[in-house]
Structure 1
Amino acid sequence: MTLRDVSVLLLYPPNQNLPGTVCKPNGSLAYPHLGGALRHHGVPVTIFDACVGDGPDDLDAIFANPVAIPSGLVRTGVTDERILQVVADHDIVGITSIFTDQESMVLHCARLIKAAYPEKILVSGGVNARSRMPLFFAAGFDVVCLSEAEHTLIEIVEAVRRSARPSFADIHGVAFPDGNRIRVNPARSRDIVQDLDTLPMPAWDLLPNQRYWTLARPHSGMFEPGAELRYGTMMTSLGCPFHCAYCHIAGEVEDSLPGPIGAFRVKSDERVLAEIETLKGLGVTDVFIEDDSLLGNKKRGLRLLEKIRGAGVTVCDLNGINIIHMLKRWKPDHEVLEALALAGFAQINMPFETGNLRIMRKYASNKLNVEKADLRGLIIAMKEYGFQLYGNYMMGYPDETMEEIQTTIDLAREHVSYGLDAANFFLVVPMPGSPLFDMAIAGGHISPDFDPDKMNIYNATMANTLVPGPVLEEMRARAWEEVNSTTWKSAKKAWATPASL
């Protein structure tokens, strides 16, 4: 059999966001990992971020001229014509869909590409794609990866190499249209990678790093305005020991479509150091760790932090180190705090989640006893170690009372008084793929045909909550304004997309 030459494009769509909020490139780690796997297999692969462009695209013009779209959001990125120009030379186009609030842009790109190039194979993946498959196939996607896809995408490439009209019937961990139905081949537990060191090195060099550095808009944190930030993101582990109701990890278990990829798995210390050296070789000076639970195994975490000490980079934690892992018998664990400081950590997101033990127990894995934990002592100690600290707080669960929400806001205010640099307030979003989404559907709090453009932390997505949606939105906005300093608010607002265009 003669095999076709096949090339792959991994496409980040243009970004969409609310006027008055900060537009940040997606930059998820899915593409560097998939790109590394494809390259290791000898497959030509390109990454194109349509939010920032590349080559001839004027970055300043892109971000100075976001375009209003019918949903009321604004689109930041290159034109449709530019996307089609980039797509033209590739046989397979992969478009990840992790974030539900970006679904409209993903589907728009799929329709655009399929209309212009019906012969190209469109592949998607991510928790949102597998949770919303009928919409994705209706938009033109040929196959959706249901689980971690480093190996799955290779199998898809090989199927396309064999035929311009490939069959995916023998591939596990995918779904695809089969006549008038969707055929689902669930992932197999034995195919889940346990030894993360066996995965090829992520292909960070395929990203438009210089454009990211010029923008200096990572997922979180605060940095000098207008200054280049030579950052790169990585993960030292996958999965999480906790299974919070609002997180898709809680649904990634045995016998689920993706298989047990929510299980906590770690890279070896040597692999982590090798990845840091790879990033440094690209010019990265600030490494942002995206682990869901960096210290999920505290003994391993402490050992790893000691080895990172001499790596010669500044380290930030984007997803947050679980508070319980920075405590010992409910008091600050100075061994952990000192290890983080000596390893070069500068900024840490702290997921306090809620000020209510009932909410913590029901929705957040009971992962912190907010009544026993010495949070005041922890914040003061962390500031003495020199960390910049940002707290994350959630509000708006279906059965959460006004008093419970006010308790969380008051807790955040106390934390700022102890030295917390800023407090971020999030309205609870029942993301597809999470147990909370299923609970919200069953309880009549969200319709199956919900508007994905509203699935963000600023919108009260659920109906019939104890505290009405408009009140929740007002409380969230007021809490952010009242609790945070003028300096912080001014810095954040300077990044924001204009409120009117």
Structure 2
Amino acid sequence: MASRNPRVLLLYPPNQSLPRTMCKPNGSLAYPSLAGALRRHGTDVGLFDACVGDDSDDLDEAFYNSPTELPSGLLRTGVPDERILAAVAEYDIVGITSIFTEQETMVLRTARLIREHFPGKILLSGGVNARSRLSRFFAAGFTAVCLSESEETITRVVDAARRSATPDLSAISGVATVHDGRIRVNPVRAEEIRWDLDTLPVPAWDLLPNRRYWSIGRPHGGAFDARTDLRYGSLMTSLGCPFHCAYCHIAGETAEHPSGPIGRYRMKSDDRVLLELETLKGLGVRQVFIEDDSLLADKKRCIRLLDKIRGAGVEILDVNGVNVIHLLKRWQPDHEMLQALVAAGFTEIVLPFETGNLRVMRTYASNKLNIDRSDIPALIAACKDYGLRITGNYMLGYPDETRAEIDNTVQLARRHVAAGLDAANFFLVMPLPGTPLYDLACARGHLDPDFDPDTMNWTRANMRRTVVPPEELEEIRDRAWEEINDPAFKRYKRTMVVRTPTARGAPW
């Protein structure tokens, strides 16, 4: 199917979700970034989100009325298979990202569908989940899996397809392929990693079905009044993180890994961030989610940047990127940082406290916060004084965590709520593929390397043979959430009903 000028389609597969939970379209930044690179390369690129369809699809049929039960009991939301095949028919290369393990089944199912009907197409995948599960992805029919940041990798695949109808992709660095029945991994070269992020192309956000996303009104983060006119987009002002927590994929992205050291913290210039904001505004975006892994890591840079974007004319929201230590100065609230966040338009911050135990913090969370020395009640009070809504995230169920240590974390959350924290979220530790914790869990028998990805979700204790059994961990998590949070927050989280064009938006 290759041609002299191959066409590339970037495809979000249909979404799968748990019953009685809200399905949210993917819309990750991977595809706009890759599309921007392909455009700059002179490649004809398209983007199709099979969860919501495009303007030729009826949104009721594509999204609201489409959920069907899968054999796993999960629900599939998106356009029918025939529509996916029609969308990919005229393209030579199809890219399907796999960042999120819980969506792996839909990625592989979509790949098998395309391979069955179009055996000559080049199928690419990438993302931390794909590069960690190579054998499954090749068994589903993928031609190659990109192992690192892929703005340049995908253009090299296009060049190879221009030269040959059956290109050999194994020579491309940063790519895994199958040769003579064996998986061949060609690691990325360190000199190919973009240390200067300003040299990356501006993401092609215009290819996303933005108006469909806005109509559905279900961004990944934030709590919005039903009357809010949502016109949101996402950007990243930096990549990587100075911390290397065992449960985060960044900890595995080192020079020794095929991905190369892409976990290293790198920043865009202020001017580049302002350019991207203007690009989003030009598309009608009013709310911008900053999705950095560590937005505040360079505090001076962050304060300076926030001051510059204060008058950008958009509401700045944060989904990620805040570590508690960056809001402290000598263990007390850092008022300069808090004032900068509020002045830039932040109204809500999630504080990842992770654990109430220094041993656990040092073992699994980069020792990034001394919970004993930090004056967290003063930080909570300062946030409330500045008008910020603040929630806390707490993690339970590390492999060797004792009941006493788990209770320490629960009691810490209780004290934080008593000090003014608006809500406490409790998460069971997930050993996601690509993280050091996953490797540890497999090596110590806490997880089968061939686990069912449909079971890897936030509702479950996914590891076995932990000090506190998985069933008990789930009971502790549920009880803590019920006892510590106020009724209004619990009602909101149970319904998760958001604004939709009509009354169609019932949760599922």
**TM-score category, normalised to shorter length:** over 0.9
Task: Give the aligned residue type for 2:13.
Answer: P
1:97 aligns with 2:98: yes
Range 179-188 or range 105-114, more displaced? 179-188
Range 393-402 or range 409-418, more displaced? 409-418
Task: Give the aligned residue type for 1:445.
Answer: H
Q: How does 1:96-115 map to 2 (within 5 A)?
A: 96-115=97-116
1:306 aligns with 2:307: yes
Q: How far apart in 2 are the matches of 1:307 and 1:418?
A: 33
Range 386-395 or range 87-96, more displaced? 386-395
Task: Give the aligned residue type for 1:17.
Answer: S
Distance verdict in 2 for CA 1:452–1:3, change over 3 Å: closer
Q: Percent identity?
A: 63
Q: How does 1:33-112 map to 2 (within 5 A)?
A: 33-61=33-61, 62-112=63-113
Q: Secondary structure at the match of 2:276?
A: helix
1:291 aligns with 2:292: yes
1:259 aligns with 2:260: yes
Residues 460-501 of structure 1 show CA distances to partners (whole Å, capped at 9, x for unaligned) of 11000011111111222222222222222222222379898x
Q: How does 1:128-167 map to 2 (within 5 A)?
A: 128-167=129-168
Contact 1:17–1:73 (8 Å) recurs in 2: yes
Residues 348-392 of structure 1 show CA distances to partners (whole Å, capped at 9, x for unaligned) of 221111111111111000000111111111111111111222221
Task: Give the aligned residue type for 2:223.
Answer: M
Q: How far apart in 1 are the matches of 2:283 and 2:507?
A: 36
Q: How far apart in 2 are the matches of 1:352 and 1:320?
A: 13
Q: How does 1:193-232 map to 2 (within 5 A)?
A: 193-225=194-226, 227-232=228-233
Q: Secondary structure at the match of 2:310?
A: helix
Q: How does 1:323-472 map to 2 (within 5 A)?
A: 323-472=324-473
Q: How far apart in 1 are the matches of 2:490 and 2:232?
A: 23
1:32 aligns with 2:23: no
Task: Give the aligned residue type for 1:20.
Answer: R
Contact 1:460–1:472 (8 Å) recurs in 2: yes
Q: How far apart in 2 are the matches of 1:316 and 1:251?
A: 28
Q: How far apart in 1 are the matches of 2:317 and 2:46?
A: 28
Contact 1:126–1:147 (8 Å) recurs in 2: yes
- The aligned counterpart of 2:500 is none
Q: How far apart in 1 are the matches of 2:436 and 2:128?
A: 12
- The aligned counterpart of 2:250 is 249
Contact 2:176–2:183 (8 Å) recurs in 1: yes
- Structure 1 moving runs of 4+ over 3 Å: 496-500
Q: How far apart in 1 are the matches of 2:194 and 2:466?
A: 40
Distance verdict in 2 for CA 1:499–1:224, change over 3 Å: closer
Distance verdict in 2 for CA 1:473–1:58, change over 3 Å: farther
Residues 245-279 of structure 1 show CA distances to partners (whole Å, capped at 9, x for unaligned) of 00110010112110000000000000001111111
- The count of residues paired between Structure 1 and Structure 2 equals 499
Task: Give the aligned residue type for 2:199.
Answer: T
Contact 1:20–1:498 (8 Å) recurs in 2: no
Contact 1:12–1:48 (8 Å) recurs in 2: yes
Task: Give the aligned residue type for 2:472.
Answer: V
Contact 2:349–2:389 (8 Å) recurs in 1: yes
Contact 1:173–1:185 (8 Å) recurs in 2: yes
Which segments of 5 or more consecutive residues in structure 1 lack a partner in the other structure? Answer: none
Range 24-33 or range 60-69, more displaced? 60-69
Q: How far apart in 1 are the matches of 2:323 and 2:185?
A: 35
Which segments of 5 or more consecutive residues in structure 2 lack a partner in the other structure? Answer: 498-504
Contact 1:214–1:227 (8 Å) recurs in 2: no
Q: How far apart in 2 are the matches of 1:90 and 1:22?
A: 32
Q: Tell me by how many angstroms 1:46 deviates.
A: 1.2
Task: Give the aligned residue type for 1:413.
Answer: R
- The aligned counterpart of 2:270 is 269
Contact 1:355–1:411 (8 Å) recurs in 2: yes
Distance verdict in 2 for CA 1:22–1:226, change over 3 Å: farther
Q: Secondary structure at the match of 2:10?
A: strand
Contact 2:3–2:92 (8 Å) recurs in 1: no
Q: Secondary structure at the match of 2:264?
A: coil
Q: Tell me by how many angstroms 1:3 deviates.
A: 6.2
Task: Give the aligned residue type for 2:201.
Answer: P
RMSD of aligned Cα (Å):
1.6
- The aligned counterpart of 1:22 is 22
Q: Secondary structure at the match of 1:345?
A: coil
So what's the TM-score if we normalise by structure 1? Answer: 0.97
Distance verdict in 2 for CA 1:51–1:499, change over 3 Å: closer
Residues 150-202 of structure 1 show CA distances to partners (whole Å, capped at 9, x for unaligned) of 00000001111212211113210001111111111101101000000000100
Q: Tell me by how many angstroms 1:317 deviates.
A: 1.0
Contact 1:15–1:51 (8 Å) recurs in 2: yes
Range 361-370 or range 72-81, more displaced? 72-81
Task: Give the aligned residue type for 2:279.
Answer: T
Q: How far apart in 2 are the matches of 1:162 and 1:247?
A: 39
